[in-house]
Amino acid sequence: MMKYKNLPPLGAHTSISGGHSKAIHTGAELGCDVIQIFSKNQMQWRSKPLQDQEVKEFREAVNETRVLPMAVHVAYLINLASPEKRIHGQSMEAFTDELRRCEQLEIPYLIMHPGSHMDSEPQQGLDKIAKSIDRSLKDSETSKTMVLLESTAGQGTNLGYTFEQLQYMIDKSTLPERIAVCIDTCHIFTAGYDIRDAETWSNTKKKISRTVGLTKIKTFHMNDSKKEFGSKRDRHERIGQGEIGLEGFRQVVNDPDFKNIPMILEIPGGNDAYAEDLKLLRSLLK
């Protein structure tokens, strides 16, 4: 997998259209060390179970290409903080299914936007998320897949936009060893954590260290931001073309504390943009 000794594995979110194994081969064509996928249609509650042949072909593609599938991103419909009984029930069922699918595919991380508290209180939403993750981990009967709470931009009633909120949900869980964090660079920037240069990156790292802890960071989503610092707007941009700029990404990819942490692009522009920005990120490596 690794093309660079003691430097982070880099990759992108690739499509499972045409079969799960296709996502692996696409990753290889783009020059990925690692990839992230959806395990099923991200805009539907239900999906047909994974077939043994699909899983077999997926694992064969991994062995052939040496591209590692590090993460599944949960379907966008899932909201474990929802105060609405029907939506929460559907979210629980879908999230539990995602955990099982991760384990079938031998993918270590399931990344989720924590959820939106809607018309309930934020504290109620945080408590509900932690309790719901615990229940799904147990109901899924999985043992290996780790849930990663993705840092959010803080739009609307979305939770998880402060490191303190992320820490709270982990601490509230009865299974904290199964829960960690995915840092999205665009999201933390627009949530109010500056990373544009060495000084601001260092300050943000200290805030991470004082809350969730550096060892709880298991992946990065590498996205520049179309929107300005502190705007609480979630609008991804290509690397170096947004408000964060190249110097911020230079700090992240060269940080020795994260030298083995997968860093995954989720930028606009499709596969051509992914291939170009992977090369750009690698050009920043020292």
HEC secondary structure over 214-281: HHHEEEEEECEECCCCCCCCCCEECCCCCCCCHHHHHHHHCCHHHCCCCEEECCCCHHHHHHHHHHHH
With tokens 């499709």, the residue in question is 270
Cα 33-35-38 angle, rounded to 5 deg: 175
User: Smallest Cα–Cα separation from 264: which of 281, 250, 247?
Assistant: 281
User: Smallest Cα–Cα separation from 243: which of 110, 153, 149?
Assistant: 153
**Between 44 and 251, the higher pLDDT residue:** 251
What are 78-91's pLDDT values in tens digits?
999 999 999 999 99
The pLDDT score that the predictor gives to residue 272 is 98
The pLDDT score that the predictor gives to residue 164 is 98
Question: Helices then strands (H, E): number in the chain?
Answer: 9, 12
The pLDDT score that the predictor gives to residue 5 is 57
CA separation for the pair 161, 126 (Å, rounded): 12
The pLDDT score that the predictor gives to residue 189 is 98
As to burial, measured by CB atoms within 10 angstroms (0-12 exposed, 13-18 middle, 19+ buried), residue 51 is exposed
The pLDDT score that the predictor gives to residue 41 is 86
Phi and psi at 115, nearest 5°, equal 140, 170
Average pLDDT, integer, range 2-25 = 87
Coil/strand/helix, residue 284: coil
User: Smallest Cα–Cα separation from 11: which of 60, 62, 77?
Assistant: 62
Average pLDDT, integer, range 199-203 = 98
Output the CATH code of domain 15-283. 3.20.20.150
The pLDDT score that the predictor gives to residue 227 is 98
CA separation for the pair 161, 21 (Å, rounded): 33
Name the token pair of 129. 């998320």
The pLDDT score that the predictor gives to residue 44 is 82
Number of Cα atoms under 13 Å in the Cβ half of residue 282: 16
What are 259-275's pLDDT values in tens digits?
999 999 999 999 999 99
The pLDDT score that the predictor gives to residue 2 is 43
The pLDDT score that the predictor gives to residue 3 is 46
Average pLDDT, integer, range 228-236 = 98
CA separation for the pair 75, 92 (Å, rounded): 12
Alpha-carbon distances, residue 209 vs 20, 163, 176, 221 (angstroms): 36, 9, 17, 18
Query: Any idea where the domains of the chain sit in the sequence?
Result: 15-283
Average pLDDT, integer, range 101-117 = 97
User: Smallest Cα–Cα separation from 149: which of 134, 175, 170?
Assistant: 170
Average pLDDT, integer, range 191-195 = 98
Q: What is the DSSP letter of 24?
A: H
Name the token pair of 5. 């000794």
pLDDT band at 43 (very low <50, low <70, confident <90, very high): confident
Residue 7 has pLDDT above 90, yes or no: no
The pLDDT score that the predictor gives to residue 42 is 78
